[in-house]
Structure 1
Amino acid sequence: MPSSPSSAAQAARQSIAQRLRDLRAEAGLTGVQLAALCGWTHPKTSRIENARTPPSPDDIRRWCTACGVPGLAPDIVAQSRNAEAMYVEWKRKTAAGLKQLQESYIPLFKATQIFRVYSGTLVPGMLQTEGYARALMTRITSFREIPNDVEAAVAARLERSRILHEPRKRVLLLVEESVLRHQMGDADAMAAQLGYLLTAGAIPTVSLGVIPDARHDRGIWPMETFHLYDDTLASMELLSARVTVTQPSEIALYLKAFEELRKMAVYGADARALIVRAIEALTK
């Protein structure tokens, strides 16, 4: 099973650090000499070479010039940017509010043919109703202390969810049964959300599975929310950041995990029975 979701991002950073360290060694420079040529202190060189500080594009260009290989800088800059994109802190993504975050996913959604989403905590974004999304985004805005553009963000999320109705898409969604009982918003908003889930399985492009709490023969444990876009990209949502991996071996682990989780889920009438039970519990 996948290890720490940030492992791929850290491995990519370490790869860049190793490449820069090798360039310095091949140029016959000590860390002190390279620092002097680049115009910074030796500790900075050490931090970069040990992957404790990610180098800026300017740092990389100075480094390559000092090592006599300025032509390698563009490739290493691109590699570094890709590594940093693997682990993006939410405070960076949400600095201007949540609407921009919702819209940033549109190109990826348009390019993806098969979506696989597992959530052990919340209704997946593509199936969220207006009231549920508003309640969730209001809590996120308050918790993260970011600009309040909740109404615009909700509208952007609902607009993005229209992709469910594109005939060439396939959307496979899995939730733990506990998701159905975690109330977001008031009872009316939650009832409306659960009511929508009752009909979501009828959308031709959608497969919705619910993993029952009573399932005691689990082959795999509940884990962090993750999204798979075709078989080329996986992303995980942590409290502090969104982690993206493209390494085939890590994607294969998440694909394997998703298939194991699918085997434990119920669908159709059995899934609707669990949703109805959750609706009934709201009125008790």
Structure 2
Amino acid sequence: MTPPSSAVERARRALGARLREIRTDASLSGRDLGRLAGWHSSKISKIEYGRQVPSEADLRIWCLHCGVEDQAADLVESLRAIDEMYTEWRRVQRTGMRKHQQSAVPLYERTARFRIYEPSLVPGLFQTREYAHALMSAVITFRGIPDDADEAVAARMDRQKVVKAGVHRFAVVLEEAALRARIGGADVMAGQLGHLLTLASQPNVSLGIIPASIDRVIWPMSGFWIFDEGRVLVETPSAELAITQPREIGIYTKAFAELSESAVYGPRARSLITGALEALDAPPN
């Protein structure tokens, strides 16, 4: 798995390669197309190699002069998908975190099957109020955004209705490190781990833990969420990446399947959680 920003770059290069193919199929050189469109030929090269993002108008002009106007709408949709993929946190969260929490509600409500992998944190839908508050407070401080932690936590708790409703299915795979990363201190972690044990017993929840001691078949990677078959979200320190291209979704689907095979479930997973609970009382080395 490559970094999320690399996925965006690949998508831009794929769009450029498709445009290059359209141009060559029309028997036009870059200079020819530039002359017809009124552009410098360097613009053609930059777009085709992903170094410049075309506008929607550019795509329509390209298709017009290459005689494939029927492909313009599809190309525009590809461009919009790329634009949606990379969302700067400062733009999304410039007024705090509450709005971002609320904006995801429609996606959560319409998703029937969630597949969630987290390497170092308990996922938001499974967080206690105290754990969520400690985590969001840290994020707010790190990003230097307005402090609306109380409102953002309330919005996150409201989103958890999809877990309690019982009509959505959740396959969650955590690295053991997520059980042992102390967020908010020992008391907060004890409550969080106890909550995980409760959720793991729900019939619509499958909770797998990848033990730290196993010989890895697949390496730890950035956390990601798969929503049915249509969208993957990957969160990084600076951005949220939304992936909608089927080929890219397929890569994450394969990764989740392999990570799931490395996880333990049922009594063995509960044993890892209780082990993390017991470690909270152990004196530091």
- TM-score per shorter chain, which class? 0.7 to 0.9
Aligned to 2:169: 170
Q: What CA distance in whole angstroms lies between the structure 1 residues aligned with 2:36 and 2:92?
A: 35
The answer as to whether partners of 1:119 and 1:224 remain within 8 angstroms in 2 is yes
Correspondences of 1:61-72 after superposition (within 5 Å): none
Aligned to 2:89: 90
The answer as to whether partners of 1:34 and 1:66 remain within 8 angstroms in 2 is no
Aligned to 2:266: 268
Letter of the 1:168 counterpart: V
* Residue-by-residue CA offset, 1:19-71 (whole Å, 9 max, x unaligned): 55566674957559838955x76655543333222223354456567778777
The answer as to 2:223 corresponding to 1:239 is no
Aligned to 2:124: 125
Q: What CA distance in whole angstroms lies between the structure 2 residues aligned with 1:247 and 1:241?
A: 18
Q: What CA distance in whole angstroms lies between the structure 2 residues aligned with 1:99 and 1:44?
A: 41
Percent same amino acid at aligned positions? 43
Q: What CA distance in whole angstroms lies between the structure 2 residues aligned with 1:158 and 1:7?
A: 33
Letter of the 2:95 counterpart: A
* Residue-by-residue CA offset, 1:136-182 (whole Å, 9 max, x unaligned): 11111111222222222111111111101222211011111111110
Letter of the 2:76 counterpart: V
- TM-score, normalization: structure 1? 0.83
Gaps of 5+ in 2: none
The answer as to 2:208 corresponding to 1:222 is no
Question: Over aligned residue pairs, what C-alpha RMSD do you find?
Answer: 2.9
Q: What CA distance in whole angstroms lies between the structure 1 residues aligned with 2:67 and 2:208?
A: 57
The answer as to whether partners of 2:170 and 2:206 remain within 8 angstroms in 1 is yes
The answer as to 2:34 corresponding to 1:34 is yes
Letter of the 1:96 counterpart: T
* Residue-by-residue CA offset, 1:173-203 (whole Å, 9 max, x unaligned): 1111111110111322222111211211122
* Residue-by-residue CA offset, 1:247-279 (whole Å, 9 max, x unaligned): 444433333332332233222333222222222
Q: What CA distance in whole angstroms lies between the structure 2 residues aligned with 1:122 and 1:24?
A: 47
Gaps of 5+ in 1: none
- TM-score, normalization: structure 2? 0.83
Aligned to 2:100: 101
* Residue-by-residue CA offset, 1:47-106 (whole Å, 9 max, x unaligned): 333322222335445656777877765543332111222233333332332122212222
Cα 1:234–1:158 change in 2 (3 A) is same
Farther-moved stretch of structure 1 (196-205 vs 257-266)? 257-266
Q: What CA distance in whole angstroms lies between the structure 2 residues aligned with 1:7 and 1:86?
A: 11
The answer as to 2:31 corresponding to 1:17 is no
Correspondences of 1:39-78 after superposition (within 5 Å): 44-60=43-59, 74-78=73-77
Cα 1:248–1:97 change in 2 (3 A) is same
Farther-moved stretch of structure 1 (274-283 vs 9-18)? 9-18
The answer as to 2:262 corresponding to 1:255 is no
* Residue-by-residue CA offset, 1:100-128 (whole Å, 9 max, x unaligned): 22122222212211111111110011101
Q: What CA distance in whole angstroms lies between the structure 2 residues aligned with 1:42 and 1:96?
A: 42
Cα 1:250–1:68 change in 2 (3 A) is closer
Tell me the CA shift for residue 213 of structure 1. 1.7
SS at match of 2:160: helix
Q: What CA distance in whole angstroms lies between the structure 2 residues aligned with 1:257 and 1:66?
A: 41
